[in-house]
Amino acid sequence: MSAVVEVTSAAPYSVTVGTDLLESAVDALPEAASRVLIVHSAPLRIRADALRVLIEASGRTPVLAEVPDAEAGKTAEVAAFCWQVLGKSDFTRTDVVMGLGGGAVTDLAGFVAATWLRGVAVVQLPTTVLAMVDAAVGGKTGINTTEGKNLVGSFHEPAAVWCDLDMLRTLPANDRVAGLAEVVKGGFIADARILELIEEHAAALSAADLDDATLAVLEELITRKIQVKADVVAADLKESHLREILNYGHTFGHAIEYTERYQWRHGAAVSVGMVFAAELARLAGRLDDASVDRHREILTSLGLPVTYQGNRWDALQTAMRRDKKTRGDMLRFVILAGIGNPVRLEGPDPSLLLSAYDAVSG
């Protein structure tokens, strides 16, 4: 059995969540596609080879592009390598790029597809919790520069997304937990049932081994979080207003990532970022104590960090001013005015920001 979330944006597509989905993903490729580029990282070479065999059996020509793992693969140089592979393989506008991997790979594959011949189809096969619930859905693609994360990119919606939960059975527990930070975010901004499920099953969700019962819980959590994102993306593809709520915890979280030179997992940074945003909301008189405490309790129960070192404020402020939500010199934050009620806070008093930072300083 599998669950399907329909993303009803300008270019509608389906996100399928289930097990044993690789063959279905190949069967659903556009008929006009004669070549398929599989962008993957080295740890997924065996999975990419299995995908290659299925594509060959379908009568198409597969081409593999192995890229560096994680954020090291999201560079202009790696994108240029993929463009070179596409050019040498005579890819046309009816051919397809497939992103097989975590969020960095799906971001890269989407960006390569968006920029080749001004846009070819991309099919995403995310292999981590984070990629399934965030990076592969919504059409945001991008690469990093030395100045910051995802500063170069485009909006390019996928033709389809296939979330094969079998990939999560071998995913290290730390990576699974880091991805759950984005799921928690979906609970705080929109779907409170997500928070309840995590409160009920936190120990199993963060355990080293993933049993069938916990995989079923993960399936519901992933599907619910994807539905949250699908609802927002359908209403606001290009982040003009509503879509900003998906950045809850990200302004401070991205600043941590930048300051730490991307040595922190994205989910760990966003976890601290959500606590920072909750404390900022409390200081601004928008969020009650119990809701702020609930942030710490849920995130801690999963083993996610809720504090950051206390001697980096100047560097963090500089990094936050690079955030995409900043307008001119005005910092903008997504905060909560209650569970499921995200709002914007523009240009908060510097003393509030410093107090919120003090509250998360470890």
92 annotated ligand-binding residue: no
Could you give the CA distance from residue 187 to residue 198 in angstroms, rounded to a whole number?
Answer: 9
73 annotated ligand-binding residue: yes
40 annotated ligand-binding residue: no
70 annotated ligand-binding residue: yes
Question: What stretch of H or E contains 114?
Answer: helix 103-115
Give the three-state DSSP class for 360: helix
Largest CA distance in the chain: 63
105 annotated ligand-binding residue: yes
Half-sphere exposure of 93 (CA within 13 A, CB side): 3
295 annotated ligand-binding residue: no
69 annotated ligand-binding residue: yes
289 annotated ligand-binding residue: no
266 annotated ligand-binding residue: yes
**Residue 191 CB burial class (10 angstroms; 0-12, 13-18, ≥19):** buried
Three-state DSSP string of 282-339: HHCCCCCHHHHHHHHHHHHHCCCCCCECCCCHHHHHHHHCCCCCCECCECEEEEECCC
Strand partners of residue 148: 145
> Catalytic amino acids?
118, 140, 182, 229, 239, 243, 247, 250, 254, 266
Which residue, chain included where needed, has tokens 């296939």?
162
74 annotated ligand-binding residue: yes
Give the three-state DSSP class for 243: helix
DSSP labels for 15-66? EEEESS-HHHHHHTS-TT--EEEEEEEGGGHHHHHHHHHHHHHTT-EEEEEE
349 annotated ligand-binding residue: no
238 annotated ligand-binding residue: no
140 annotated ligand-binding residue: yes
133 annotated ligand-binding residue: no
214 annotated ligand-binding residue: no
Could you give the CA distance from residue 54 to residue 61 in angstroms, rounded to a whole number?
Answer: 10
In the chain, the N- to C-terminal Cα span, in Å, equals 44
Q: Which amino acid is at 308?
A: Y
310 annotated ligand-binding residue: no
- Tokens for 30, please give them: 């556009």
- Known binding site for NAD(+): residues? 69-74, 103-107, 127-128, 140, 149
Q: Which residue ranges are tagged as binding site?
A: 69-74, 103-107, 127-128, 140, 149, 182, 250, 266
Residue ranges for the known binding site for Zn(2+) are: 182, 250, 266
